[in-house]
Amino acid sequence: MAINKCISKWACLFVWTLAAVGCQQEEIAPAESEEMAEVDFSVAMKDAVWDTETDYIPMTSRADGTGYFNFSLVCGELVIYRNLGDDMFQVEKVLSTLESHSLSVENGTSLSLEDFGFTETSVVLREGDYVATLMLNGPVRIPTLKAGNIVGKAESVIGDLNDFMYNTPVRDLYYAAVPFKVKKSQSLSGNQNTDTEKILFEPERYAAPIRLILESEHTILSMQNRASIECSVESEGIPQGLDLMGNLGGKSSVKVSRTVTLPFKWNNATSVRFLPDYMDENPTSVFVPVDEGEGCTVTLYISKIVHQFASITVNAKVPVSVKRGYITNVILKLSESETLTYTVEDEDIKSVAGEWESDFPQVPFEYIEYNIKR
């Protein structure tokens, strides 16, 4: 497994700041007389949950250190809840990782929690009914989520949708919930995905990325190394939350501000383009929670393009259709006269993809959001 660890300068947050970077935990101390059992956790990323709508087969680990990684993690959270009945749960233990990792992931390959930056891969629990949840690239709720907290099943694990989609480092959202039972015999039952004393998480992807590609004919902008786009995201089809068991909530109208940073500058013979790069500490795409199979229509209102020396006021309304598990590409074109136009046509996307693959044949176009080693 090729893993590149890059200590991030920031932690994945909603609206609070964490005091420490690394792996943290909270747990409830058991009574000495209680039966205990050790539970081991592993992860299998299934069904090509990474960003691609093409037939590209993800690369395995690259011994020569070249190429790309197809999955990037910016934060992770594992929470073990004790089932109290009546759809109420008590937080038993919380583990989190705040290290950035880039991985080469294959379909169905079982990975250790260590591969995702967790320093613990197993826990010791009292007998009882439990639910273990794993959230990757979502909001880290420590220190607000503590052992002993009582939560309801319907409480959203991603919090308020406006906070989730606002200007935070959240890139994408993967989530899995696994119920299991610890018995006096120190064995587990009730989960078809596990062997004895083992829990396998198979995270599902709950978001759809909208990837902005800025093409510039503007002289001053074209001289910059990066650009940012200020926009708002509006839709009536975005689910409003994600409950403890992984069910998306009801839909209502939402309009959320978002700033997208495009830190990867690509010069070629025909144009200057700015693209996202997952290695950057700022949000580099728009990620929208979407129901599986349904998709929804999202409208982007682009208001400003910002570079090192100035901001350019623009006015563009961009309706796009998004679908879970697929990238929606939007090409924005800024003219010398500061007029912004856009295209989402397949023919235009394929033209840009063809130029990319000519310049960077080792990296499929659909993976550029994640990690180009350089």
The residues facing 25 across adjacent strands are 95
Residue closest to 140 by CA, chosen among 288, 11, 21: 11
| Amino acid letter, residue 126 | R
> Please, are residues 371 and 284 in contact by the beta-carbon 8 Å criterion?
no
CA pair distance 328, 210, nearest whole angstrom:
5
Residue closest to 317 by CA, chosen among 215, 227, 232, 257: 232
How much is the pLDDT for 153?
93
CATH class of 207-367: mainly beta
Residue closest to 170 by CA, chosen among 259, 87, 230, 88: 259
The residues facing 28 across adjacent strands are none
Ranges of CATH 2.60.40 domains, the chain: 207-367
Torsion angle defined by CA atoms of residues 336, 337, 342 and 347, in that order, rounded to the nearest 10 degrees: -50
How much is the pLDDT for 22?
37
Output the pTM of the full model.
0.76
pLDDT values of the chain reduced to their tens digit, one per residue, 374 residues:
333 333 233 333 322 222 333 344 445 555 454 567 788 888 887 654 444 333 333 333 344 444 556 677 778 899 999 999 999 999 999 988 877 767 766 666 678 888 888 888 888 888 899 999 999 888 767 667 889 999 999 988 887 776 676 655 566 788 999 999 887 654 444 444 333 468 889 888 787 788 899 999 999 999 999 999 999 999 888 888 889 999 988 777 888 888 899 998 999 887 899 998 766 777 788 888 887 767 789 999 999 999 988 999 999 999 999 887 678 899 999 999 999 999 999 999 999 989 988 988 777 777 655 433 32
How much is the pLDDT for 106?
65
What are the two backbone dihedrals, phi and then psi, of residue 354, each rounded to the nearest 5 degrees?
-65, -40
The residues facing 362 across adjacent strands are none
Instruction: Find tokens 């994408």 and name the residue.
Output: 172
How much is the pLDDT for 342?
96
How much is the pLDDT for 265?
92
Residue closest to 334 by CA, chosen among 202, 250, 229: 229
CA pair distance 273, 265, nearest whole angstrom:
6
The residues facing 319 across adjacent strands are 299
CA pair distance 292, 298, nearest whole angstrom:
16
